[in-house]
Amino acid sequence: MNFKYGLVAASAFAVSASAALADKWDMALAYSATNYHSEIAAEFAAEVTANSDLEIVTHPGGSLFGGSEIFGAVRKGLAPIGERLISALGNDNALYEVDSVPFLATGFEGSKKLYEVSKPVLVETLEEARVHFLYSCPWPPQGFYSAEAATDLDSISGLKFRAYNATTSKMAEGLGMVPTKIEAAELAQAFATGVAQSMISSGSTGYDRKLWEHVDYYYDVKAWLPRNMVIVNEKAWKRLDDDTQAAITTAAANAEAKCWAKAEELDAWYIEQFEANGMKVETLSPELQAEFEKVGAELKAAWLERAGDKGQDVLDAFEAAQ
């Protein structure tokens, strides 16, 4: 029994039950097969398959569900397992956005500490949504891509800005740009047709989509390190036997360790590839960097107001861990 396409029309309960009893799970992934998130997810699936009676088959590039659909599909039981950008769920709960608070954690060491102190509240929030957390994988620090040279605020004012979560939308607005929501699979076409002219994203995203074909400038802003997470439908998880759960948990821990190491390894390499393909890689002027950080401080304050006491507790724990 499997879950591909034909079961989507079935009721959420029926599919969840089927997922739990099946010996094959289809795993929904938003990014291309050659992206390191997808590659490590494939290794995770292979490890589970080799060490349990459960087979996991990955479906990269949004081929099973589009990126914006994956969390809902797993939550409703339309897919038993999937990967999603955590901060994209900020409209559901502000706590999902902690890793994308601008300029809070700008390097891998700080990002790892932020993950460690925020993981308990992330797991708790997911449990309330009837979803089981497996592992989290970071992106490299976020840089600023622009079709125009970013010399000052006037130079970027009015640019169409690709947003992938509430934080990027609000940052664009604060800097005078015009946000539009575009998923990763649609990026190249959006930049090729002028639907997008700028964005804040990792080197990984720009490399995967060959954005040097459409964008001339990359600014190493190091705004934050967003993370993806791999999650399982709660009913499907609870109906697995103990040995299978243990095999998945072990594979998830291995995948998470590989993901953090790979993201750090690739960070500088992506920038080298941009330069090799003709992009101008620069840092922002001190004045424009200060404008980015000013908007970031405003967004941090707004995030804290929405996240409430739990958000403050995470920031306090992060500060204590520094």
Residue 184 pLDDT? 82
Q: Which residues contact 190 (CB under 8 A, 6 or more apart)?
A: 162, 180, 182, 196
Instruction: Classify residue 204 by burial, with Cβ atoms within 10 Å: 0-12, 13-18, 19+.
Output: buried
Tokens 């800097």 belong to which residue? 175
Residue 9 pLDDT? 42
Residue 20 pLDDT? 43
Which residue from 34, 65, 62 is spatially nearest to 208, judged by alpha carbons?
34
| CA angle in degrees (0–180, nearest 5) for 271-137-68 | 95
Q: Which residues contact 232 (CB under 8 A, 6 or more apart)?
A: 74, 80, 81, 131, 132, 134, 248
Mean pLDDT of 274-296: 97
Residue 13 pLDDT? 41
Packing angle of the helix pair 286-321, 166-174 (nearest 10 deg): 140
Is the Cα torsion angle 177, 183, 184, 188 positive or negative in sign? Answer: negative
Q: Which residues contact 183 (CB under 8 A, 6 or more apart)?
A: 30, 62, 66, 67, 68, 164
**282 has which bridge partners?**
219
Whether the predicted pLDDT of 254 surpasses 60: yes
Fold of 143-224+277-321: D-Maltodextrin-Binding Protein; domain 2 (3.40.190)
Mean pLDDT of 221-228: 96
Tell me which amino acid residue 56 is.
Answer: I
Packing angle of the helix pair 108-128, 286-321 (nearest 10 deg): 60
Whether the predicted pLDDT of 50 surpasses 90: yes
**132 has which bridge partners?**
232
Per-residue pLDDT tens for 86-141? 999 999 999 999 999 999 999 999 999 999 999 999 999 999 999 999 999 999 99
- Assigned CATH for 6-138+226-267: 3.40.190.170
Whether the predicted pLDDT of 193 surpasses 90: yes
Mean pLDDT of 145-166: 96
Q: Cα separation of 16 and 39, whole Å?
A: 26
Domains of the chain by residue range: 6-138+226-267, 143-224+277-321
Residue 183 pLDDT? 86
The pTM of this model reads 0.86
Fold agreement between 6-138+226-267 and 143-224+277-321: yes
Element at 316 (helix H, strand E) = helix 286-321
Tokens 């995770």 belong to which residue? 44
